[in-house]
Structure 1
Amino acid sequence: MEPVMEHPPIGDLSEYPASSVDGPIVVANEFADVVVRRVETRNGMRLDIWSPRRGTRIQLDAVALDCLSYQAPDLITELLVRRPAP
């Protein structure tokens, strides 16, 4: 299934839910856990994603997140198949 890009009419504002979470968000299941938080850098706002189990971290800007949002599910599956370096 191909991703569908929506284009709101000019001047139409999307309604985003008000965020009441100031601290980090933990997303976890039996296979992984990550800590997600918004950080301000000298180059602008980033989404900081940290994996405590692996000790890895990445900071993504809005362009990177937007690009990630329209990738085919097959690409994400392919990324999951690869074993990260220890």
Structure 2
Amino acid sequence: MSESTASPQAENPDTGEVLEVPKDGGNSGPIVIANEFADVVVRKVDTRNGVRLEIWSPRRGTCVRYDAVALDVLSYQEPEFITKLLSRTPGA
């Protein structure tokens, strides 16, 4: 972005407060998140339809890509919804 271009802004919908948009820090490599139950590899992927967040599960051999809208929807789900997702048997 050039200096003449406005930087993106995020606004808290509850308070109207303008929030600072976090930067990616220039890291282009994947992020591995793991514990004794699961491990995933997360990375930012440029596609012909825009930027996606790719989440890959090496143990299961599954992969999914989410755009900004899908990630936004996840951000306002109730914890009970996530609990229901975790109770499902994958592939069932």
Q: TM-score, normalised by structure 2?
A: 0.78
Would you identify which runs of 4 or more consecutive aligned residues in structure 1 move more than 6 Å? none
Matches within 5 A, 1:53-72: 53-72=59-78
**1:18 shift after superposition:** 4.8
Q: How many residues align?
A: 80
RMSD value over aligned CA atoms? 2.0
Give, in whole Å, the separation in 2 of the partners of 1:42 and 1:18: 21
Superposed displacement of residue 67, structure 1: 0.2
Quote the offset at 1:53 in angstroms. Answer: 0.3
> Per-residue deviation at 1:24?
0.2
* Residue 34 (str. 1) matches residue 40 (str. 2): yes
8 A Cα contact 2:51 2:67, kept in partner: yes
The whole-number CA distance in structure 2 between the counterparts of 1:77 and 1:13 is: 29
Which amino acid counterpart does residue 36 of structure 1 have in structure 2? V
Q: Which residue of 1 aligns with 2:82?
A: 76
Q: Is the 8 A contact 2:56 2:63 kept in 1?
A: yes
Q: Which has the larger radius of gyration?
A: 2
Q: Give the unaligned 5+ runs of structure 1.
A: none
The residue aligned with 2:91 is: 85
- TM-score between both structures, scaled by the size of structure 1: 0.83
Tell me which of the two structures has the higher relative contact order, counting C-alpha pairs closer than 8 angstroms and 6 or more residues apart. 1
Residue 44 of structure 1, aligned match among 42, 50, 58: 50
Q: Judge conservation of contact 2:31–2:43 (CA < 8 Å) in 1.
A: yes
